[in-house]
Amino acid sequence: MKSHTILFLGIILLACAGCRQEQLNSFEGRALGTIYHITYMGAHDPRMPARVDSVLQEINATFSVFDTNSLLSRINRGKELTPNADLLLILRKALSVSELTNGAFDCTCQPLIELWGFGREKTMASPTPEVVDSVKQFVNYRLVALDGDRLIKRDARVQLNFNAIAKGYAVDKVAELLKHLRYKDFIVEIGGEVVAAGHKNGKPWKVGIQVPTETADGPVESNHQFELTDKAVATSGNYRNYRERGGVRYTHILNPATGRPEETNLLSVTVIAPDCTTADAFATAFMVLGRTRTTEILHQHPELEAWLIYDENGQYKIEHIEQKKANK
């Protein structure tokens, strides 16, 4: 699963040289451990950056595993707290995606994230199989449930982490804000996750998929572009966030079934979905599932499409599984 520090930019926003600047409003900021970019068409709202920051601060106050005072951190410490509306919505979505992917997406992976050095402590660990197994016994999405609006943990040691879905949810929440303010044409990007609504000067927004890099600090480049209107995009990859020990690279993509970093020839998965919350969760799950199982799920869900970048004999290959194929 993705940890909160997964900050690679899977999606690159592409500039339009002929835009009419009097209608184009853009700003950026920092939130959720990454950078965000907002562009909207229409009347300039000088309060917009503060409005967006307020939304993102609420998301952080709910889901951050780094803020010891966040709602999630307090729940993980065993406090008897009622989840707020945001956490309830995300938990329901997370459990739904877990069922659809047979647990490849699992919001109870926090102990594994810490064990492998992708959480609060950044020290690279080399846990023995016995230690991994001891942690795996309380990593299972079926150990959490909802009784109405009450969260139930069937094992007190269960620790939740929503970093593989919360960033996508934050993009959706900012998009909701813009729609509430009656803006119809905009694009919201937070750490590579995107929602595009309407058009830019009458033309669809354009985004590009980042070419995987050999190292975490490699250049941000794109050679795959597509148009995006009234949809969301999220990318998960293994080339930006990893640890190395003894010449071995361990990626942040953790398989809940094995308790170990997933070894796969998939380098990145970019998912297009109706909303960014869904796209974010499935992008993570597909990195765990691999090409074959991912393709099967996409064929079963025509509301989703994806770009898969994978390594084949040292060469980058890209496969686009789109809705028209899924409908066959």
Alpha-carbon distance of 224 to 98, in angstroms, equals 29
The answer to pTM > 0.95 is no
- Asked if residues 99 and 124 have their Cβ atoms less than 8 Å apart, the reply is no
Q: What is the pLDDT along the chain (328 residues), one digit of tens a residue?
A: 544 333 334 455 554 444 444 489 999 999 998 999 999 999 999 999 999 999 999 999 999 999 999 999 999 998 877 899 999 999 999 999 999 999 999 999 999 998 888 777 656 567 888 999 999 999 999 999 998 888 999 999 999 999 999 999 999 999 999 999 999 999 999 998 999 999 998 899 999 887 665 554 545 555 678 899 999 999 988 655 545 565 555 567 889 999 888 887 888 899 999 999 999 999 999 999 999 999 999 999 999 999 998 888 878 888 999 865 444 4
Task: Name residue 203's amino acid.
Answer: K
What are 311's strand-pairing partners? Answer: 316
pLDDT of residue 17: 43
The fold for domain 11-326 equals: T-fold (3.10.520)
Alpha-carbon distance of 203 to 128, in angstroms, equals 54
pLDDT of residue 260: 87
- With tokens 């572009």, the residue in question is 225
The sign of the CA dihedral 136, 102, 63, 287 is positive
